[in-house]
Structure 1
């Protein structure tokens, strides 16, 4: 076993070492390619400069009457021919640009050594030219260090040897006439080249590693986006899978409750089932709403509404629960509010419902109060302050910072027991208030209650909204002569929808999939089609496309369990006239489909 551990450790280290080697080799190869590209023009410029300037430099000797001119010019012409040969090889990609400049400089040093061995009247001009050549090379060339060392070694060795063994001039005379600068230039040349080369390599390394990091971040971004899409797809699927049976539960419970209301002794078990179904539907909606808000798929839908009717309906919703717990529920609404506000009443109702529901839940005695008062008013908008206060258990200081977090739990011990709150209500409320361009505030003291408040600026009108006739007052005999086609592969959902239609004496036909719906539509005339989206054989999208070819005007409502905005956009773009989400309660079902049947809700 120890041997196995050592073996595994060695292999892991070996794998890491090999990976580092591969990374290093990859970088070095990229740097060589980068250096070749970056130095292509300087290398060519270096060769062209000596190809042209060397013959021109002999003019100075000609003008001064130095017979050295007749040795210098042919030598430079010969060296120029060699340089042209290097250019040819480079153009054929036989040698690289760096190799071309290296061979050029090495060749020139050999020619310069030959020239230094020839008789001179003075070495001053030659030493000046050689020194300028080294300086120019140091400024232009970006070589690996080995190239610079070879060139410097050639100059430091060949120049003194040529003068000492071939020329009649002594080395001392050469150094006195400028040779010391030539030798110093060749000595310093490798250091200058190394600095410039390393600087370029270091800059490339920074850019290379930055690119690697960007690529890694891009991969992580792609993974995160894929995970987000997977989460959205998963929630979309779970939305459909959960809402489909839930629609059957909710629908059946409401149908049975209406029958129980006509009996002398209502069934308590049925009431419990209804409460559980409503609670389950609220939890599912909370999870999906939070996901939609975080995905920026929730957009406010401002509509005019009567604030007094709005708060009155909300209060009646909570009165039974408050009476059950024996606490006082107060809705103190400023009587000076305008008769018409313009805002997303559904989202506002969701916020207030979450706050009031929590307040009642955590208040054992005392009261829960909603205060709505006017803070400011302009000709275009009114600013309202909303405050939900209770005399409940309160929230400890240590828990208040995270109270609006997702799935936050708050545990508070009362005189008799401990109470734990958990859920998404406050997190959703905070995000919805953010959509209203506001924020929610908390004031609480353990054992003395809590107060949540926020302010909204809403457009308003002084004109009252015309009252609407209650939906339940529409009698079956007032329904016009219409026929509806209901397509759904879930039998429970078919029973719920058809029972609701039967109660209003509306004739209907049913289909178990999109193909059956299309076949029935070809044989009969329908005034409305209720179409599920996900069905076997043929889904609702394809069936709707085919039905639209037969009748472009017939209303087709997507009756679906998918609550995601992208699914709704796809449905509306595919020819659907409306989009109604399961599960639903009977009143909402009638309110949605009646306008498509020409029934005006007054």
Structure 2
């Protein structure tokens, strides 16, 4: 890679990195010449060479310069690269002086020593290329000049007795430094680029996480904002529906309003369900259930709608199916979606849902195939690939009254994947469709016994009980209080948590319905204050949030129960009977 591709930021980082990586090699070079170079003068002393004092003096001068450079480096005044560079520059004239002024019987030993010193430099020094070029030009200029100026024959002797190899090695020195620097710089650039990419990915990951969190918070807020008025609509519709004195035209309008409110509730639930699945907030809860009972309930639920359209509805089960262990609610949700779609898009013929045993192992696992088939409009091959995508419907064939969110199949596919299966489709345009999936579930060897007749219990109410309803939405208060009036249950109202706490301390209540999100003081704080005085009083969280973490937070904060808006009268009364009812 060409240096021109390096940014200024990278070059600045590389300069620091290069200094850091080469620091100890440069220091070792300086220390080696600081100590080792004067030691070579001992050879002159042992040979009783009269030039010993002169050589020792020159080498001590070099050691002094090197020591001064090291002091500057450790004092933070000079980089290690510059210290070794200046020491090497000082070494050149000292060498040249000894070669030119001290008589040599032969230059073989001097050439060898200088060549070994150069090789030592190859291994320990890591310089910028321009340092090595400057040094090489200095050596090629000073050495020949010094030798030739005083004794021309010295230069010839030096070349012929090994000096030529030293000069050739010195000419290779810049290439060696270039090779090391280029390789190390490319490696550092790779790591630098990788770090930049990691930082970018980390930022993108953070952006994605923030977006997901924002989406969840938005949906949670919108859930509350939509469900709260929707609860009022659903509640008022049920109250109006019970008034039998209205004209047939008014009852028809109320029925239409009821249908629209239920449809809107289904849309909201679909959107929240898909968000929970997408955010990995949906976990399967395993419990033992009877598949025959599940199919019976599904059949009874859809039979009126099938008869209304003149369709034959059948449920087929393999014989002798055992008790299963799995998430019955989510499995029912998948099959319900498929049956609902089958009836919606079938105008004549039949809708059949079935479960077939494929395999049963000795270790308690049974493999089943669930299928929902119909004789409806069918789906063309080019549209089948998109039918499981979110917000997608078979547009050209969907009638106005059959519209929906387009989330049902997308949710069903994801739920089937949680079970470890894959939702499959086989269809021909105009001939109907078959949706199927295969899953493996644990099963119980316990055989289902004959059904026992259930004792009918008639719930009654504790007529002395008093209920406090806390909600900042006036419509929700009207709905809840009307339900209480019908059962002649005494009640009182509060529009925020502060009022609720004040009324609780001034009166006696047996049950509290507490909204979670309110102005002045929210339901969590109000419940905490009430719990400090009475840990036993039932407090039901009355909330528009259907998220599991909100439910867990409420129950962990002292709430006794959890009722999600919009709710129907039976749901409300079930809570009331559970806490202040008496079964006779």
Q: Fold conserved (TM > 0.5)?
A: yes
Is the Cα contact below 8 Å between 2:318 and 2:356 reproduced in 1? yes
Residue of structure 2 in register with 1:227 after alignment: 211
Instruction: Give the C-alpha shift of residue 134 in structure 1.
Output: 1.4
Residue of structure 1 in register with 2:55 after alignment: 72
Is the Cα contact below 8 Å between 1:68 and 1:120 reproduced in 2? no
- For the pair 1:177 / 2:161, whether they are aligned, the reply is yes
Listed one character per residue, the Cα deviations across residues 386-440 of structure 1 (whole Å, up to 9, x for unaligned) are: 11000111111111122211111214559x9998776100000111112222222
Instruction: Give the C-alpha shift of residue 139 in structure 1.
Output: 1.8
Distance in 1 (alpha carbons) for counterparts of 2:187 and 2:237: 72
Select 1:124's aligned residue among 86, 108, 122: 108
Is the Cα contact below 8 Å between 2:461 and 2:580 reproduced in 1? no
Select 2:487's aligned residue among 489, 504, 508: 504
Is the Cα contact below 8 Å between 1:329 and 1:368 reproduced in 2? yes
Listed one character per residue, the Cα deviations across residues 70-103 of structure 1 (whole Å, up to 9, x for unaligned) are: 4322221221111101111111111111110100
Is the Cα contact below 8 Å between 1:395 and 1:446 reproduced in 2? yes
- For the pair 1:438 / 2:421, whether they are aligned, the reply is yes
Instruction: Give the C-alpha shift of residue 183 in structure 1.
Output: 0.8
Tell me whether 181-190 or 570-579 shows the greater mean CA deviation.
570-579
Report the 3-state secondary structure (helix = DSSP H, G, I; strand = E; otherwise coil) of the residue aligned with 1:580.
strand
Distance in 2 (alpha carbons) for counterparts of 1:54 and 1:91: 21
Select 1:360's aligned residue among 343, 353, 368: 343
| Alignment map for 1:14-93 (pairs within 5 Å) | 24-93=7-76
Tell me whether 436-445 or 451-460 shows the greater mean CA deviation.
451-460
Is the Cα contact below 8 Å between 1:528 and 1:555 reproduced in 2? yes
Residue of structure 2 in register with 1:405 after alignment: 389
Is the Cα contact below 8 Å between 2:516 and 2:543 reproduced in 1? yes
Distance in 2 (alpha carbons) for counterparts of 1:83 and 1:216: 46
Cα gap change, 1:539/1:220 in structure 2, threshold over 3 Å: closer, same or farther? same
Residue of structure 1 in register with 2:125 after alignment: 141
Select 1:249's aligned residue among 233, 236, 240: 233
Distance in 2 (alpha carbons) for counterparts of 1:122 and 1:374: 101
Residue of structure 1 in register with 2:147 after alignment: 163
Is the Cα contact below 8 Å between 2:422 and 2:438 reproduced in 1? yes
Distance in 2 (alpha carbons) for counterparts of 1:515 and 1:451: 56
Cα gap change, 1:21/1:511 in structure 2, threshold over 3 Å: closer, same or farther? farther
Cα gap change, 1:592/1:166 in structure 2, threshold over 3 Å: closer, same or farther? farther
Listed one character per residue, the Cα deviations across residues 181-218 of structure 1 (whole Å, up to 9, x for unaligned) are: 11111111111111111111111111111111111111
Instruction: Give the C-alpha shift of residue 265 in structure 1.
Output: 9.0
Report the 3-state secondary structure (helix = DSSP H, G, I; strand = E; otherwise coil) of the residue aligned with 1:439.
coil
Instruction: Give the C-alpha shift of residue 481 in structure 1.
Output: 4.0
Residue of structure 2 in register with 1:324 after alignment: 308
Distance in 1 (alpha carbons) for counterparts of 2:576 and 2:150: 112
Residue of structure 2 in register with 1:274 after alignment: 258
Cα gap change, 1:366/1:228 in structure 2, threshold over 3 Å: closer, same or farther? same
Distance in 1 (alpha carbons) for counterparts of 2:296 and 2:156: 113
Distance in 2 (alpha carbons) for counterparts of 1:435 and 1:138: 63
Is the Cα contact below 8 Å between 2:470 and 2:497 reproduced in 1? yes
Is the Cα contact below 8 Å between 1:484 and 1:506 reproduced in 2? yes
Residue of structure 1 in register with 2:499 after alignment: 516
Is the Cα contact below 8 Å between 2:267 and 2:404 reproduced in 1? no
Instruction: Give the C-alpha shift of residue 180 in structure 1.
Output: 0.2
Distance in 1 (alpha carbons) for counterparts of 2:46 and 2:276: 89
Report the 3-state secondary structure (helix = DSSP H, G, I; strand = E; otherwise coil) of the residue aligned with 1:115.
helix
Report the 3-state secondary structure (helix = DSSP H, G, I; strand = E; otherwise coil) of the residue aligned with 2:542.
strand
Instruction: Give the C-alpha shift of residue 120 in structure 1.
Output: 1.2
Tell me whether 388-397 or 130-139 shows the greater mean CA deviation.
130-139
Report the 3-state secondary structure (helix = DSSP H, G, I; strand = E; otherwise coil) of the residue aligned with 1:39.
helix
Uncovered stretches (5+) of structure 1, i.e. residues with no partner = 1-19
Select 2:79's aligned residue among 77, 96, 107: 96
Instruction: Give the C-alpha shift of residue 61 in structure 1.
Output: 3.9
Is the Cα contact below 8 Å between 2:461 and 2:582 reproduced in 1? no
Residue of structure 1 in register with 2:553 after alignment: 570
Instruction: Give the C-alpha shift of residue 307 in structure 1.
Output: 3.5
| RMSD of aligned residue pairs (Cα, Å) | 2.8
Is the Cα contact below 8 Å between 2:232 and 2:475 reproduced in 1? yes
Instruction: Give the C-alpha shift of residue 309 in structure 1.
Output: 3.5
Residue of structure 1 in register with 2:273 after alignment: 289
Instruction: Give the C-alpha shift of residue 266 in structure 1.
Output: 8.2
Tell me whether 215-224 or 65-74 shows the greater mean CA deviation.
65-74
Report the 3-state secondary structure (helix = DSSP H, G, I; strand = E; otherwise coil) of the residue aligned with 1:267.
helix
Residue of structure 1 in register with 2:354 after alignment: 371
Select 2:334's aligned residue among 302, 326, 351: 351
Cα gap change, 1:218/1:418 in structure 2, threshold over 3 Å: closer, same or farther? same
Is the Cα contact below 8 Å between 1:440 and 1:454 reproduced in 2? yes
Report the 3-state secondary structure (helix = DSSP H, G, I; strand = E; otherwise coil) of the residue aligned with 1:296.
coil
* TM-score normalised by L of structure 1: 0.89
Instruction: Give the C-alpha shift of residue 305 in structure 1.
Output: 3.9
Report the 3-state secondary structure (helix = DSSP H, G, I; strand = E; otherwise coil) of the residue aligned with 1:375.
strand
Distance in 2 (alpha carbons) for counterparts of 1:343 and 1:501: 38
Cα gap change, 1:256/1:458 in structure 2, threshold over 3 Å: closer, same or farther? farther
Tell me whether 177-186 or 302-311 shows the greater mean CA deviation.
302-311
Cα gap change, 1:512/1:469 in structure 2, threshold over 3 Å: closer, same or farther? farther
Is the Cα contact below 8 Å between 2:270 and 2:405 reproduced in 1? no
Instruction: Give the C-alpha shift of residue 469 in structure 1.
Output: 6.3
Residue of structure 1 in register with 2:519 after alignment: 536
Distance in 2 (alpha carbons) for counterparts of 1:420 and 1:266: 26
Cα gap change, 1:312/1:598 in structure 2, threshold over 3 Å: closer, same or farther? same
Is the Cα contact below 8 Å between 1:558 and 1:579 reproduced in 2? yes
Instruction: Give the C-alpha shift of residue 480 in structure 1.
Output: 6.2
Cα gap change, 1:70/1:466 in structure 2, threshold over 3 Å: closer, same or farther? farther
Uncovered stretches (5+) of structure 2, i.e. residues with no partner = none
Distance in 2 (alpha carbons) for counterparts of 1:516 and 1:21: 72
Cα gap change, 1:252/1:346 in structure 2, threshold over 3 Å: closer, same or farther? farther
- For the pair 1:462 / 2:447, whether they are aligned, the reply is yes
Instruction: Give the C-alpha shift of residue 547 in structure 1.
Output: 1.1
Instruction: Give the C-alpha shift of residue 510 in structure 1.
Output: 1.4
Residue of structure 1 in register with 2:412 after alignment: 429
